Chains A and B, each alone.
Chain A
């Protein structure tokens, strides 16, 4: 789960990462009220789950009542990369002496936790990392040992004089320790502060916060449910999430249901090769029951763009007889619009095929192979378009 900025800041704040005192607002009147609370000059920041908000005009500084109201009217309701802004975070404006970049994430290649730190924070950090790799410090971490104390010299010449002032590096290390606790105790896959602002008094404050929570750890964080409820969800995504399905909506005509992320991706690839386009990515996971299969079909069929559904199952822990029962169940529960093309191999596939032959009816075509199934589904999607 990806948190919005204000959620990320509250989350980081729980472990002592310094953040500004700000407030959420969803109307121009509220924006003005929060501005009066935090004092002018203030910054109004659109709360949407996309990068590049500043460049797109979703982050603006305001210095008096008229400007605050005017900005609130302009930002609230604006569209940022397909997301309507209905909340803004209002914070006091600060004047950083330096902007750092700090992140903790999982380094898959090294199979360890990784601290990324740079004194050249800001919007161009990726270009910095490419053009001048030495300006970005990467520290693999010993699990459980926390973050080692960083020295100003390690940040290289780019750190300039500011980090060498007394107390500054100590203050930075305090922030990194808090960030590390948020990362590990908070079960985040990634935490990122960019920029991490150094203020005149030698203290630091997180001016932005990106937190990606590890969905696998949801069971030990009952408080995540309330945060999830504050996020906007595509109704299709929400339905998928409720049913434990891994669904991503796309724009094509061939609905996809597969077991396993790899097979689902491969199914998208072969549909493209057959000249079609996928309407979605849907992985029903391992060991799916008939009920899950039925839900998956109804979810995919509810997309009005879908003209045919390609079900690609290779049973391992998933049993093909359960898949077949799920298809039969979906057909009996609702009137599916789309014809189903099915590829069914692996565990109990003979039983599955038998169930379908006896009970499924003419809207289900069983293909002998994945490529044949893709070709048939693309043809049917075209024929009924």
Chain B
């Protein structure tokens, strides 16, 4: 099995007529994903390589039965696009767009929570997710993934997600689903949401978690792992030697209470029972060893 996305997912691409939307929408389709529609306001009736374009998500859903949306629209319209998808009944919205103003993201998150609690948002500013062999929604290159499990990947960093997929695939270790939750301050889906789903998924035997400095998402994940996750977790946190940014004011320190450094995150994850790697390659080796032991 996989989490959030599988071969039955029916996908609409918001922004399909743009250069990025076209490139990645068609690439997702070529992977085998059921990409059935595009949406660009004012361009309804056109098509992109045979994929019909609609003027609104609602009409795309009505005509094609889409239940999943890939949002590849410029930042200033992205949160409107997300809410439009949710209002049209889309249950999984994957937003690739980077550069969304943080107050827009806060409002979008609150709107989804209060009015469309059944819609899951992944991102923004994320690579999307791939359930290898089933479907790929986002900008991840499908040929670096390997179907069949047993590893579930969740990552805050785009490029480190590709690194992890490729390292595991090279070692012959497959993945159930790889979710890039994105690096923005207000992610739609958190590490904890993904850990909960992987814990439930019978085919996921090992979870690989890739974090980075800043925020306290990894510390929250550690708390969750300690109390709810029985499957082995291997974690890597980027930024051990990263420059400490110039700090303005005290609010950040008061909010995080000293959390946020790579060391604090590594320690929290380690104390929660996760195996903590020093670099991405070592993380892949550790996951491969556990996956091998599980299979044996």
Question: Which A residues form the contact surface with B (CB < 8 A)?
Answer: 2, 49-51, 101, 103-109, 111-114, 116, 125-126, 129-130, 136, 138, 142-144, 184, 187, 189-190, 192, 194, 210, 212, 214, 216-217, 219-220, 248, 250, 258-263, 265-266, 268-273, 278, 281, 285-287, 314-317, 345-347, 369-371
Question: In the bound complex, do residue B99 and residue A216 qualify as a contact, i.e. CB atoms below 8 Å apart?
Answer: yes
Question: Which B residues form the contact surface with A (CB < 8 A)?
Answer: 20, 24, 75-76, 96, 98-103, 106-107, 109-110, 127, 139-141, 144, 155-160, 162-163, 166, 183, 185-187, 210, 212-213, 215-217, 220, 238-243, 245-255, 257-258, 278-281
CB pairs A–B below 8 angstroms (8 shown): A111-B106, A190-B252, A261-B183, A263-B158, A265-B212, A266-B160, A314-B162, A317-B24
Nearest Cβ on chain A to B210's Cβ, whole angstroms: 7
Besides the known contacts A101-B250, A116-B255, A266-B238, 12 further A-B residue pairs in the complex with CB atoms under 8 A apart: A108-B186, A108-B215, A109-B217, A210-B248, A216-B75, A220-B101, A263-B160, A281-B242, A314-B166, A316-B159, A345-B144, A346-B141
Nearest Cβ on chain B to A277's Cβ, whole angstroms: 8
Question: In the bound complex, do residue B185 and residue A51 qualify as a contact, i.e. CB atoms below 8 Å apart?
Answer: no
Question: In the bound complex, do residue A106 and residue B212 qualify as a contact, i.e. CB atoms below 8 Å apart?
Answer: no
Question: In the bound complex, do residue A111 and residue B157 qualify as a contact, i.e. CB atoms below 8 Å apart?
Answer: no
From A192, A263, A278, B157 is in contact (CB under 8 Å) with A263
Nearest Cβ on chain A to B17's Cβ, whole angstroms: 17
Main secondary structure of the interface of A (DSSP, over half): mixed
B278 contacts across to A, CB distance below 8 A: 269, 273
B257 contacts across to A, CB distance below 8 A: 129-130
Question: In the bound complex, do residue A109 and residue B238 qualify as a contact, i.e. CB atoms below 8 Å apart?
Answer: no
B250 contacts across to A, CB distance below 8 A: 101, 103, 125-126, 129, 192, 194
Question: In the bound complex, do residue B238 and residue A265 qualify as a contact, i.e. CB atoms below 8 Å apart?
Answer: yes
**CA A222 – CA B158 in complex, angstroms?**
30
**CA A104 – CA B249 in complex, angstroms?**
11
B107 contacts across to A, CB distance below 8 A: 143-144
Question: In the bound complex, do residue B254 and residue A260 qualify as a contact, i.e. CB atoms below 8 Å apart?
Answer: no
Question: In the bound complex, do residue B281 and residue A371 qualify as a contact, i.e. CB atoms below 8 Å apart?
Answer: yes
Question: In the bound complex, do residue A113 and residue B99 qualify as a contact, i.e. CB atoms below 8 Å apart?
Answer: no
B241 contacts across to A, CB distance below 8 A: 268-269, 271-272, 278
B166 contacts across to A, CB distance below 8 A: 314, 345-346
Question: In the bound complex, do residue B254 and residue A265 qualify as a contact, i.e. CB atoms below 8 Å apart?
Answer: no
B75 contacts across to A, CB distance below 8 A: 216, 219
Nearest Cβ on chain B to A182's Cβ, whole angstroms: 12
Question: In the bound complex, do residue B216 and residue A212 qualify as a contact, i.e. CB atoms below 8 Å apart?
Answer: no
Specify the chain B residue showing the minimal Cβ separation from A272: B241
* Most-contacted residue by chain A among B109, B140, B144 (CB, 10 A): B144
A266 contacts across to B, CB distance below 8 A: 157, 160, 163, 238-239, 279-280
**CA A142 – CA B217 in complex, angstroms?**
21
From A194, A250, A262, A273, B156 is in contact (CB under 8 Å) with A262
B245 contacts across to A, CB distance below 8 A: 248
Specify the chain A residue showing the minimal Cβ separation from B213: A265
Nearest Cβ on chain B to A21's Cβ, whole angstroms: 24
